[in-house]
């Protein structure tokens, strides 16, 4: 540490208790030589990642658990509460909750991977063979700035929302697919990537953000790159996508497939690159009911992608048949 030694290496790791350990080695040291000969090093941003045996085994544990769940066949819809109690789940988005319940994943407010270092996401399909034609929700972050934050969600919906299309009275919605550079016909807002250079694929502005802009150039809602980057890189460096079938007649049930998509090694600039192309889009499900009496608001901001574009988000992609691994 006290000399400008060329090719020196800094190793660091995090313990289970959150303590950071660091060690500096010279280029001719035994550990440096072993590192250079290590064939299984992956990348995470500017860092090289060494998979320790326990971390590598976590992948096998995950795949074994998904094989067990696949072999269960149809599973009655359910979810876990914050202390692990099994509860019934009756809403249309219970496919993810049911899979998480089988994996023992309880809901929490932390932006951390779901299962042993892996982010696990379920996505519905009509046939298990069609895993490249589904829509997957990647993130559901609330805006960090714009009128949505400064004036509140009710003001935002009244100014940019629209009357319910199914004719339900006393209700306004804010929804629809918003793609970069396209003004939405219902909300009259355009998604823009402020501070991102699409040509180079690089962030050029430290105050960069994903922004919804109205016709008067007001920022209706925005998500700072800093907040999105932190969430994306932390949650998605190792991601697992599991297809599911649903049975909605009678008791809701789910069945999970054997062809699993694994993505490892990501970067938020890859996410922005797919947004710039329109492959990732904003598709909110925000509504306000009982407008004339006591307004009730449901918030759900969603960034979504078609499964065929998932490989563009990761440096390493695999489709694994867990019955033949």
Residues of the chain with pLDDT under 70: 1, 39-41, 44-45, 53-56, 108-113
Other Cβ atoms closer than 10 A to 187: 20
| One-letter-per-residue 3-state SS of 52-83 | CHHHHHHHHHHHHHHHHHHHHCCEECEEECCC
- Strand 86-88 to 78-80 pairing: antiparallel
Other Cβ atoms closer than 10 A to 138: 20
What are the distances in angstroms from CA 133 to CA 31, 137, 279, 305, 310?
46, 13, 13, 10, 11
Query: Which two structure tokens, joined as six digits, stand for 43?
Result: 């990348």
Q: Minimal CA–CA distance to 119: which of 62, 157, 80, 64?
A: 62
Q: What is the pLDDT of residue 142?
A: 96
CB 95 within 8 A of CB 78: no
Q: Minimal CA–CA distance to 176: which of 193, 191, 159?
A: 191
- Which residues, 6 or more positions from 57, have their beta carbon under 8 angstroms from its beta carbon? none
pLDDT, one tens digit per residue, over 221-234 is 999 999 999 889 88
Output b/e per residue, 174-186; b: 16+ Cβ within 10 A: bbbebbbeeebee
Top-level class of domain 56-321: alpha beta
Q: What is the pLDDT of residue 210?
A: 98
Element housing 35 (H / E): helix 30-36
Report the distance separating Cα 271 and Cα 279, nearest Å: 9
Query: Which two structure tokens, joined as six digits, stand for 301?
Result: 């901001």
Q: What is the DSSP string of 155-201?
A: HHHHHH-EE-TT--TTEEEEES-B-BT-B-TTT--EEEEETEETTTT
Report the distance separating Cα 124 and Cα 245, nearest Å: 6
pLDDT, one tens digit per residue, over 208-254 is 999 999 999 999 999 999 999 988 988 888 999 999 999 988 889 99
What are the distances in angstroms from CA 168 to CA 131, 156, 290?
35, 20, 10
| One-letter-per-residue 3-state SS of 216-236 | CCCEEEEEEHHHHHHHHHHHH
Task: Output DSSP code: residue 279.
Answer: S
Rounded to two decimals, the pTM is 0.81
Domain map of the chain by residue range? 9-49, 56-321
């Amino acid at each position: 540490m006290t000399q400008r030694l060329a090719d020196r290496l800094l190793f660091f790791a995090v313990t289970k208790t959150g303590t950071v350990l660091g060690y500096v080695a010279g280029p001719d040291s035994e550990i440096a030589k072993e590192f250079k000969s290590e064939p299984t090093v992956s990348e995470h941003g500017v860092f090289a990642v060494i998979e320790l045996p326990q971390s590598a085994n976590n992948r096998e544990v995950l795949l074994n658990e998904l094989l067990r769940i696949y072999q269960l066949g149809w599973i009655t819809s359910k979810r876990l509460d914050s202390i692990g109690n099994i509860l019934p789940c009756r809403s249309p988005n219970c496919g993810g909750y049911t899979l998480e319940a089988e994996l023992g994943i309880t809901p929490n407010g932390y932006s951390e991977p779901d299962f042993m270092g892996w982010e696990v996401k379920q996505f519905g399909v009509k046939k298990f063979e069609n895993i490249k034609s589904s829509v997957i929700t990647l993130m559901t972050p609330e805006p960090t700035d714009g009128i949505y934050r400064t004036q509140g969600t009710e003001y935002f919906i009244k100014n940019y929302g629209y009357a319910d299309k199914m004719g339900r009275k006393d209700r306004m919605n804010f929804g629809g697919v918003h793609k970069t550079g396209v003004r939405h016909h219902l909300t009259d807002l355009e998604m823009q990537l402020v501070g991102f250079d699409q040509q180079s694929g690089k962030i050029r502005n430290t105050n960069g953000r994903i922004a919804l802009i109205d016709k008067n150039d007001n920022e209706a809602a925005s998500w700072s790159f800093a907040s999105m980057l932190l969430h994306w890189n932390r949650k998605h460096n190792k991601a697992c996508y599991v297809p599911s079938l649903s049975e909605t007649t009678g008791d809701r049930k789910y069945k999970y497939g054997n062809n699993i998509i694994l993505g490892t090694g990501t970067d938020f600039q890859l996410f922005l690159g797919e947004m710039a192309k329109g492959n990732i889009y904003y598709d909110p499900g925000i509504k306000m009911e009982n407008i004339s009496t006591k307004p009730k608001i449901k918030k759900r901001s969603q960034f979504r992608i078609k499964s065929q574009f998932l490989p563009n988000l990761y440096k390493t992609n695999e489709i694994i048949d867990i019955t033949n691994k």
